[in-house]
Structure 1
Amino acid sequence: MIASTSPCPCLSGDTYGSCCGRFHSGETEAPTAERLMRSRYSAFAVGATDYLRRTWHPSTRPDRLDLDPDQRWTGLDILGCMGGGLFEAEGTVEFVAHYVHAGQRDSLREHSRFVREDGRWLYLDAID
């Protein structure tokens, strides 16, 4: 894991404890689709698989989630958001997540869909 005083992996500028760490611990829920997306990126970065599964919609959640220990997440760029606000039930976030694997830099670009159910934002899937 990561110290609560360390910079948050989502690059918000806040510490992990005051940013994504409070979502990972279950202290509170992400209030918007973008905050959920950022917290899920951070969960990949710190290896919080329980959080990733907990915030994945049951209809698309994999039975298992095994993270590659050799993959190091290094940065996140949010390209755009539609919906996903405090009073909305659906939203999308387009982003680029940067990582290093086997000494090679690479990135993952995704346009993700999120839904809010019972007051909680959940990752649904990626839009092609």
Structure 2
Amino acid sequence: MKCPCNPTKLYKDCCRKAHLDIRSVTSAEQLMRSRYSAFVLANIDYLQKSHHPKTRPNMLEKKEMLTWTKSVEWVKLTVLKSTENTVEFKAFFYENNSLNVIHENSFFAKENNHWVYKEAL
């Protein structure tokens, strides 16, 4: 299977490693890419684990996120800019037969010795 975050790579050689062991993630960009793949694969447990504890979605939000991510068709991820703690990206998806995009500059931090998503800037 091709990796959702980068179709030139196989999932087993890319985001699967992060999904199995979040401590294997070595950069903010790698975490962001693994989170995109988790959205595509509806891996909500990983999305929770990779979210900063202070901004982590609650159980109701987690359930809503699962419903939503399964209702859309993910198209592609484009990374626009990456720094040590931020990643600007566009994530394209179809919802209700309409192409949509999430354009975000995300902030990441180290928490408990691994990278986590903290917030959109």
Structure with higher helix content: 2
Structure 1 position 57, deviation (Å): 0.2
Alignment match, 1:48? 43
1:19 aligns with 2:20: no
Q: Partners in 2 of 1:57 and 1:101 — Cα distance?
A: 27
TM, length-normalised to structure 2: 0.89
Give 1:32's aligned amino acid.
S
**Kept after mapping to 2: 8 A contact 1:78/1:93:** yes
Alignment match, 2:88? 94
**Kept after mapping to 1: 8 A contact 2:22/2:114:** no
Alignment match, 2:115? 121
Q: How many equivalent residue pairs?
A: 115
Alignment match, 1:105? 99
Structure 1 range deviating more: 60-69 or 104-113: 60-69
Structure 1 position 117, deviation (Å): 2.1
Identify if the C-alpha distance between structure 1 residues 27 and 36 changes in structure 2 by more than 3 Å, giving closer, same or farther.
closer
Structure 1 position 32, deviation (Å): 0.4
Q: Give the secondary structure class of the aligned counterpart of 2:83.
A: strand
1:57 aligns with 2:52: yes
Alignment match, 2:3? 8
- Identity of paired residues, percent? 37
Q: Partners in 2 of 1:122 and 1:37 — Cα distance?
A: 9
Unaligned runs of 5+ in 1: 1-5, 84-90
Alignment match, 1:86? none
